[in-house]
Amino acid sequence: MTPRGRAELYLFATTFIWGGTFIAVKLGLVDISPVLFVALRFTLAGALLLPFGIRKILRTDRDLFWKGNLLGLLLFLGFALQTVGLGYTTASKSAFITGLMVIFTPFFQFAIEKRPPRPGNLLGVAIVTAGLWLLTSPSGAGFTFGDFLTLLCAAVFGLYIVMLDLVSKKADAVPLTFLQMIAPAALGWAAVPLIETPIWYSTPTAIATLLYCAVLGNIVCGYVQTRYQRDTTPTRAVIIFTIEPLWTSILGYLMLREVIGYWGMAGGALIIAGIVVSELSDTKKEE
């Protein structure tokens, strides 16, 4: 298997885990306030990762330190927006809207790398806009405050994908992953008293949710993306990530009895179609 094929297989596997994190967070928010949840999951992830890479982490140079913290800031903003948003929308809608990060990616590539969006990118945006309207139409409970926060989250994650592609090519994955755990943890603890009244009930659901998100969602998926996204292209990576909302929708129905309705399903299908159209327009060029 080629390095790119192996990388894309690993990235595909992460979509199953990430799809489940939407359900886990939705369940966890019953017992934990959202910003505290972000602080706890990243703190736990950093603490668990530290013993496995302490030698490499201690040798982190100043350049990697600041770049890792920049990525960590983007992760904190994205996850904070997404987690708070999940308190006001469904897990399925959150996953589909978060998937819009791959629509934002080409525009950040233009702003940072001076690569203008191609016609297919613009067509994809038009299709996705129609899909978002159907997904959040009145029959789907309307465009909620949670949907708005999740849309901002998608923009932040789109920027994160571009920045990770630039930073990870010349960086060791272990210390870079660790920095992306510690920075959001520190920012989360600083933000908790400013943003919310913290709530914590040590129920089995709360503990299981934190373990799932910290170990699988943060450490495993964070390391895989940091280590293997550089062996493919941002375009091919984000095409793979479009499968994530489908897993969330299936799990949302099975575990939470979430039903987005026929118009919602049509909107979700259009969102995925628009994402694929947008990203396939760059595939030949990037290969």
Residue 154 contacts residue 107 (beta carbons within 8 Å): no
Cα–Cα distance, 94 to 150 (Å, whole number) = 6
Contact between 228 and 11 (Cβ < 8 Å): yes
Q: Is the confidence at residue 2, as pLDDT, over 90?
A: no
Distance CA 107, CA 159 (A): 9
Across the chain, mean pLDDT equals 84
pLDDT of 143 reads 78
Has this prediction a pTM greater than 0.85?
Answer: no
pLDDT classification of 279: cutoffs 50, 70, 90: low
DSSP code for 116: P
Residue 283 has pLDDT above 70, yes or no: no
DSSP letters for 39-71: HHHHHHHHHHHHHHHHHHHHT--HHHHHHHHHH
Is the CB of residue 18 less than 8 Å from the CB of residue 217?
Answer: yes
Give residue 25's pLDDT.
92
Q: Average of pLDDT values for 193-205?
A: 93
Residue with the two structure tokens 């819009």: 100
Domain extent, residue 44, equals 3-286
User: For the chain, how many structural domains are there in total?
Assistant: 1
User: CA-CA distance, 51 to 67, in Å (whole number)?
Assistant: 22
CB 30 within 8 A of CB 263: no
Mean pLDDT value across residues 32-51: 93
Dump pLDDT digits (tens) for 46-80. 999 888 778 888 788 888 889 889 999 999 999 99
Token pair 């709360």 in the structure block, residue = 206
